[in-house]
């Protein structure tokens, strides 16, 4: 069977032609190589000599001392009848061993291999049917296969997502698995009232996705989940301000103590990146003008935002004190699919579908900066791949709206009038205005929100319209039963 990887070409004679479009990758056989206890002049010497390791030691010496790689090649070709019978079966493994050695010993080669996500052209074996494409370009291309296999291994990541069964975590998991099909995701979630395994049902047959039910405060389970991971993206939190007013303790436990457990174990296991998902609420509230930046002083005002602020400080402390490679993003209000119907947009949409009124706090003039959850995922992806270790990035949607404006948009979408608004007493300590200045991530990493609020909100409202069974189960409390049926009482 032919091997045709769309990302790969092996043929010396087409390099010039493809150079602009593709990446030319030299096989770098001219570097010295330490391999199997000897220092070889080039990897070509090593590979050619390996033909005779078992059968002709004198030839190994001759090849070892050959003046050039070409001479080494010629010597092996002339004596090929002295190679062992099983040579054909082992030569690919030997070549792979040599290539892995080259990569380990020469960071430049590794850098070159990883430098591009483009097509790879191996500058070698232009007419060799086995290692390259051969004259008719239908060769086995074994060399190319080895390089591609190693590049895949080196670029692929295993990421521990905490709180992946919640609103933003769910959307982030879908986003990442779609964009990086080789990445593996481990989702650690306690499945509080806000976590919903149904969100991730579409991934149940995806071999790159694993779910672990567990609490981030539980060291043992955290260790199990984090072992083997390259990165951690930490979403898990108690996230609803109103609940934090009713029950602050749970917020302190999960958001502060849980984050500390994750940080400590990440440090122990040598995690290569710990990205902490935070909120703009840590900055307190704004007057009618101005925006939050990375330099704004922390001034949290609810138990929720205070616990998030404490977790941000802990994350930075692990960077400064222990050198844990961290990044933080402080994001504004998210909207999109899979948001628990206790938050403004899904609550109002689902209430209207159910024929109920929408409860609007106070005068409805509190302002939030709204961002589509996919833009948030894209920002986190950008920070993970290009962000600077130790840095914080503010992420915003450039869409300031009062709660009343949002309410009117939702009413309009569902063709309902203002009589469906029910004014309720304001939330205690309700912050008046939040807005984010995202110039840092824009200027340094080239990220900005792409989804216009006017488009995103319509898609989102339509999603709640199309996915009634999803939110009706949550609202009626059936979700817990679903979980037990699915994971505890299931017979097969
Ligand atoms: N929603 C927003 O607008 C917004 C904006 C900025 C930042 N954030 C932050 O983003 C993160 C995710 O927010 P969300 O809106 O998706 O929250 P969410 O409430 O929808 O989801 C939280 C998830 O964390 C899980 N969880 C809670 N406690 C846990 C524990 N002890 N151990 C393991 N898992 C636990 C829950 O089961 C749930 O799946 C939070 O850290 C939040 O502070 C949210």
Question: Is 281 among the residues known to form the active site?
Answer: yes
Residue 163 CA, closest ligand 1 atom number: 24
pLDDT of residue 123: 57
φ/ψ of residue 319, rounded to 5? -70, -50
Substitution site in 160, 161, 168 for ligand 1 pocket (most atoms within 8 Å of beta carbon): 168
Give pLDDT tens digits for 154-203: 889 999 999 999 999 999 999 999 999 989 999 999 999 999 999 999 99
Question: Is 304 among the residues known to form the active site?
Answer: yes
Average pLDDT along the chain: 89
Q: Which residues contact 118 (CB under 8 A, 6 or more apart)?
A: 7, 21, 22, 23
Place of tokens 């056989």: 29
pLDDT of residue 21: 43
**pLDDT above 90 (res 491):** no
Q: Between residues 441 and 135, which one has the greater pLDDT?
A: 441
* Per-position DSSP letters for 72-131, written without gaps between them: HHHHHHHTGGGS-TTHHHHHHHHHHHHHHHHHHH-HHHHHHHHS-SS-EEEES-TT-TTT
Substitution site in 172, 224, 236, 304 for ligand 1 pocket (most atoms within 8 Å of beta carbon): 236
Atom 25, ligand 1: residue with shortest CA distance: 163
How far apart CA 89 and CA 167 sit, in angstroms, is: 51
Closest CA to 345 of 434, 278, 405: 405
Residue 193 CA, closest ligand 1 atom number: 37
Q: Phi/psi class of residue 349: alpha, beta or left (left: φ > 0; alpha: ψ in -120 to 50)?
A: alpha
The rounded Å distance from CA 97 to ligand 1 centre is 44
C-alpha of 451 from chain center = 20
449 lines ligand 1 (CB under 6 A): no
Question: Is 230 among the residues known to form the active site?
Answer: no
- Residues of the chain with pLDDT > 70: what percent? 87
How far apart CA 33 and CA 142 sit, in angstroms, is: 21
Asked if 55 and 47 count as a contact pair (C-beta separation under 8 A), the reply is: no
Which range among 28-42, 232-246, 361-375, 433-447 shows the weakest confidence by mean pLDDT? Answer: 28-42
- What's the Cα-to-Cα distance from 453 to each of 105, 225, 373, 456, 461, rounded to whole Å? 50, 36, 11, 5, 12
- State the pLDDT confidence band at 12, using cuts at 50, 70 and 90: very low
Domains along the sequence of the chain with CATH: 16-154 (1.10.357.40), 156-488 (3.40.50.720)
Mean pLDDT score, 457-476 = 94
Exactly one of 128, 189, 281, 374 is catalytic; name it. Answer: 281
Substitution site in 160, 161, 163, 304 for ligand 1 pocket (most atoms within 8 Å of beta carbon): 163
Quote the tokens at residue 91. 């030569």
Atom 30, ligand 1: residue with shortest CA distance: 215
């Amino acid at each position: 069977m032919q091997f045709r990887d769309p990302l790969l070409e092996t043929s010396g004679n087409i390099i010039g032609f493809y150079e602009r479009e593709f990446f030319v990758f030299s096989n770098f056989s001219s570097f010295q190589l330490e391999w199997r206890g000897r220092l070889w002049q080039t990897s070509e010497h090593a590979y050619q000599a390996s033909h005779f390791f078992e059968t002709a030691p004198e030839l190994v010496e001759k090849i070892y001392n050959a003046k050039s790689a070409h001479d080494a090649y010629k010597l092996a070709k002339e004596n090929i009848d002295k190679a062992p019978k099983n040579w054909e079966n082992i030569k690919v493994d030997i070549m792979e061993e040599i290539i892995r050695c080259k990569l380990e010993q020469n960071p430049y080669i590794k850098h070159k291999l990883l430098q591009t996500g483009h097509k790879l052209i191996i500058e070698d074996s232009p007419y060799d049917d086995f290692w390259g494409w051969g004259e008719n370009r239908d060769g086995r291309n074994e060399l190319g296969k080895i390089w591609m296999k190693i590049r895949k291994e080196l670029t692929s990541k295993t990421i521990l997502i905490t709180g992946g069964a919640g609103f933003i975590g769910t959307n982030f998991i879908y986003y990442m698995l779609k964009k990086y099909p080789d990445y593996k995701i481990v989702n650690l979630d306690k499945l509080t009232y806000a976590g919903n395994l149904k969100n991730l049902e579409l991934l149940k047959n995806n071999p790159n996705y694993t779910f672990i039910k567990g609490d981030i405060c539980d060291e043992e389970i955290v260790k199990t989940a984090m072992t083997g991971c390259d990165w951690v993206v930490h979403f898990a939190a108690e996230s609803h301000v109103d609940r934090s007013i009713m029950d602050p303790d749970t917020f302190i436990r999960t958001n502060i103590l849980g984050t500390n457990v994750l940080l400590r174990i990440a440090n122990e296991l040598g995690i290569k990146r710990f990205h902490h998902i935070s909120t703009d609420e840590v900055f307190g509230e704004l007057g009618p003008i101005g925006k939050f930046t990375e330099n704004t002083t922390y001034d949290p005002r609810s138990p929720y935002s205070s616990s998030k602020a404490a977790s941000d400080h802990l994350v930075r402390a692990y960077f400064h004190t222990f050198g844990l490679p961290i990044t933080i993003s402080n994001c504004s209000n998210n909207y999109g699919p899979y948001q628990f119907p206790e938050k403004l947009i899904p609550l109002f949409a689902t209430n209207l579908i159910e024929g109920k009124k929408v409860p609007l706090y106070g005068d409805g003039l509190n302002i939030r900066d709204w961002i589509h959850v996919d833009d948030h995922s894209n920002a986190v992806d950008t920070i993970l791949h290009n962000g600077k270790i130790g840095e914080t990035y503010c992420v915003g949607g450039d869409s300031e709206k009062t709660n009343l404006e949002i309410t009117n948009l939702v009413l309009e979408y569902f063709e309902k009038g203002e009589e469906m608004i029910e004014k309720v007493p304001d939330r205690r300590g309700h912050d008046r205005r939040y807005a984010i200045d995202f110039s840092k991530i824009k200027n340094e990493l080239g990220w900005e929100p792409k989804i216009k609020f006017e488009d995103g909100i319509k898609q989102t409202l339509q999603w709640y319209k199309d996915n009634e069974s999803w939110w009706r189960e949550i609202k009626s409390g059936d979700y817990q039963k679903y979980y037990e049926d699915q994971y505890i009482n299931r017979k097969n």
